[in-house]
Structure 1
Amino acid sequence: MEKHRILIVEDDIEIAGLIMNHLKERSYRVTWASTGTEGWEDFQSQSFDMAIIDLMLPEMDGFTLCKNIRWSSPIPLLILSARHEEDDKIKGLKLGADDYLTKPFSLRELEARIESQLRRYGRYHSQAQPAEKWTFAHGLEIFPEKKTAEINGVEACLTVKEFALLCLMANNPHRTFSKKELYEHIWEQNDVDGNNTVTVHIKSLRTKLKDPLKTPYFIQTVWGNGYRFVGAASHEN
């Protein structure tokens, strides 16, 4: 019987090979990425039960990858690092990582930590059934699986990027996202000075949601910082 699916993001081929072989021998289904960007692409295109992420990665560092995954999913995140600094550990945990293992480590300890995190996640996952829709005051309903949103029963006809922006912010209510964070997370490209892409999409999204600019129901501008979702969740389902 196959076990859980695990994403390994590690640029050291020898370490990645050791971990993959060890986990495959124990029937885990393993996907390996050698860069942060590749890991993020794999995460978005496949379904995983856990991610093991090295901090020092090319293209996108492990901190950024952890942050991106955590904004989108509650799966367990285990950080691997050769760095022993306490600040790195604290930063990783604050970004949403569930555990931190310093190199060098034993494969038996890694396996035990994986099993522990998956047990906890399994208990949480069995209790928290995914909602078919997210319901908010002022008539907003978001349907994550169908990738659609409605206002007072009428489809808002959002573009793919507009829907992704809405879901990201609604899934992290009252968290202020900078334009840079939104652009790099949704468009998966480095932001550059003078880039108006996020501003244009947020303006269009607000129009389609009939969201008043001065007294917003859903998306609030945090002047000088970015945007945050302020919609009041309803327990109606």
Structure 2
Amino acid sequence: MEKTNNDGYLETKGNLLLVEDDPGIGRIVRDHLRRENYAVSWATTGLECWEDFCSGEYDLVLVDLMLPEMDGFTLCKNIRLKSEVPLLIMSARSEDESKVRAFGLGADDYITKPFSLTELSLRVDVHLRKFRKYQKGAEEKSHILTYYGGLTIDPVLKQAMYENEPIALTSKEWLLLMLLASHPGRQFSKSELYEHVWQQEAIDGGNTVTVHIKGLRMKLKDNIRNPKYIQTVWGSGYRFIGEPQ
């Protein structure tokens, strides 16, 4: 991983994460964005990018699709489940199928190689302006609790309550609840839940997820036969069905 320190600049325009396995392209993009006064971290594999994203704070991620260790599609899906940060795809794949798939997994933009560095900078600027407006609105509402039936979730204090009584959740139960509740109606497989909550490959994590979902349901007083919050999608996984008040 290479990190630029932007020596000589009083303040950078943003902190970017770039993943590009071609050293020539990666160096050109990194150096250009540095000249545009961005701080840039450069990863050369999908897995390296994912690990760096999980351990750092970034304003935008630039993703190549054809990557070793973890392809760009999987990387987009993982990042989008964790964050609303803008995702800009840079790829030589110009077919509509790749674009549709990337946007479906949460990408915000798609630029085809070869591209103009000036155009790339403009797209980065536009997406950062939009993201910062979104962040400002989210911060203004951060004090507002979210309610689902008798369930109250406070993401700032990391506290859940049922009928105004605090619920003693384990760290994994809290992460499961937040992942499901922040994507209402979306179906998650057990493998997806395990990979995002336990941060490990789901080789045999299905039973672990089942046990933790069972415990979470008990604490939420959620009847599996007539659920208010967590619905089992038989043979597939789970989805959050709580109705906001």
TM-score, with structure 2 as normaliser: 0.87
Deviations 1:32-83 (A, max 9, x none): 2222222222222222211111111222221111112212222211011122
The runs of 5 or more residues in structure 2 that have no matched partner are 1-10
CA distance in 1, matches of 2:160, 2:71: 33
Structure 1 partner of 2:169: 158
Amino acid at match of 1:156: I
Structure 1 partner of 2:148: 137
Structure 2 partner of 1:57: 67
Structure 2 partner of 1:71: 81
Q: Does 1:212 align with 2:223?
A: yes
Query: After the TM superposition, which residues 13-92 of structure 1 pair with which residues of structure 2 at under 5 Å, given as runs?
Result: 13-92=23-102
CA distance in 2, matches of 1:149, 1:118: 32
Structure 1 partner of 2:240: 229
Equivalent pair of 1:133/1:144 in contact (CA under 8 Å): no
Deviations 1:119-166 (A, max 9, x none): 222333333335235422333222223333222233322222221111
Cα distance, 1:216–1:134 mapped onto 2, change above 3 Å: farther
The runs of 5 or more residues in structure 1 that have no matched partner are none
Say which of 106, 109, 116 aligns to 1:106. Answer: 116
Q: Does 1:124 align with 2:126?
A: no
CA distance in 2, matches of 1:34, 1:152: 49
Of the structure 1 ranges 222-231 and 194-203, higher mean CA displacement relative to structure 2 is found in 194-203
Cα distance, 1:151–1:41 mapped onto 2, change above 3 Å: farther
Equivalent pair of 1:133/1:141 in contact (CA under 8 Å): no
Say which of 181, 184, 191 aligns to 1:173. Answer: 184
Q: CA RMSD in A?
A: 1.9
Equivalent pair of 2:185/2:239 in contact (CA under 8 Å): yes
Equivalent pair of 1:162/1:202 in contact (CA under 8 Å): yes
Cα distance, 1:204–1:81 mapped onto 2, change above 3 Å: same
Of the structure 1 ranges 82-91 and 14-23, higher mean CA displacement relative to structure 2 is found in 14-23
Cα distance, 1:206–1:161 mapped onto 2, change above 3 Å: same
CA distance in 2, matches of 1:104, 1:64: 23
Amino acid at match of 1:147: K
Deviations 1:162-181 (A, max 9, x none): 21111111111000111121
Cα distance, 1:98–1:49 mapped onto 2, change above 3 Å: same
> How many Å apart are 1:30 and its aligned residue?
1.6
> How many Å apart are 1:193 and its aligned residue?
5.2
SS for the counterpart of 1:175 is coil
CA distance in 1, matches of 2:229, 2:240: 5
Cα distance, 1:39–1:133 mapped onto 2, change above 3 Å: farther
CA distance in 2, matches of 1:143, 1:115: 32
Of the structure 1 ranges 132-141 and 33-42, higher mean CA displacement relative to structure 2 is found in 132-141
CA distance in 2, matches of 1:10, 1:157: 43
CA distance in 2, matches of 1:155, 1:10: 46
> How many Å apart are 1:11 and its aligned residue?
2.1
Cα distance, 1:156–1:38 mapped onto 2, change above 3 Å: farther
Cα distance, 1:146–1:128 mapped onto 2, change above 3 Å: closer
